[in-house]
């Protein structure tokens, strides 16, 4: 009699708290003023400044060379300046060998 009624009340409280926390977090994620995730961070894709198995950013279809500095450029999927000689796990060769 003493213990049983408390359980549903506690459950309801926990459920409502979780729902409120979730709503707040969601609002924070999608609310105005947050910058868009345009590209992924270098650290998330194992970016390095040297080639990997002979592959480098200069051979990747996502790489766009910097007009003033041919040694570096930008990437369509990785944020920041990347080296022409660099590499990351998202490397995709310019020529599609499959087709």
Partner 1 sequence: MRSIALTVLVGAMLLMGSLRALAVPSFARQTGFECTTCHFSWPELTSVGRQFKLGGYTLMHETKDQRPWISVSKDGPPPRLPLALMVQASATDTRGTSGADPASFPRDGDAAIQQVSAFYAGRISAHIGAFAQWTYDGIEHHSSVDNVDVRAASHFEGKGIDLSYGLTLNNNPSVSDIYNTTPAWSFPFASSSVAVAPNASALIDGGLAQQVAGLGAYAMWNHTVYAEVAGYRTADRALSVLRAGTDKTTDAVLDGIAPYWRLALQHAWDESRQSAMIGTYGIVARKFPDSLDPTGPTDRYRDIGVDAQYQYVTDRHRISAQLNFIHERQNLDATFAAGGSDNPTNTLRTFRAKASYYYDLKYGATVQYFRTTGSIDNGLYNSGDTVTGSASGSPKNSGITAEVDWLPRRDVRLMLQYTAYRTFNGAGSNYDGFGRNAKDNNTLYLALWWMI
Sign of the torsion formed by the C-alpha atoms of 77, 78, 83 and 87: negative
In the range 72-91, which residues lie near partner 1 by CB under 8 A? 76-77, 87, 89-91
CB of 59 to partner 1, least distance (A): 13
Please state the φ and ψ torsions of residue 40, each to the nearest 5 degrees: -95, 155
CB of 71 to partner 1, least distance (A): 21
CB of 42 to partner 1, least distance (A): 9
CB of 29 to partner 1, least distance (A): 4
Give the list of residues 6+ apart from residue 87 with CB closer than 8 angstroms, or none. 47, 48, 50, 51, 52, 55, 56, 57
Helices and strands, number each (H, E), in the chain: 1, 3
In the range 19-38, which residues lie near partner 1 by CB under 8 A? 19, 22, 25-26, 29-30, 34, 36-38
Sign of the torsion formed by the C-alpha atoms of 29, 91, 52 and 87: negative
Q: Which residues bind partner 1 (CB under 8 A)?
A: 11, 14-15, 18-19, 22, 25-26, 29-30, 34, 36-41, 43-46, 48, 52-53, 61-62, 76-77, 87, 89-92, 96, 98-99
């Amino acid at each position: 009699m003493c213990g049983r009624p408390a359980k549903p009340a506690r459950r309801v409280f926990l459920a409502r708290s979780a729902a409120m926390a979730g709503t707040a977090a969601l609002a924070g994620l999608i609310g105005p003023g947050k910058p868009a995730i345009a590209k992924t961070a270098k650290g998330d894709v194992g970016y390095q400044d040297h080639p990997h198995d002979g592959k480098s950013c200069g051979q990747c279809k996502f790489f766009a060379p910097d007009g003033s500095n041919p040694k570096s450029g930008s990437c369509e999927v990785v944020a920041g300046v990347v080296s022409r000689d660099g590499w990351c796990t998202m490397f995709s060769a310019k020529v599609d060998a499959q087709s």
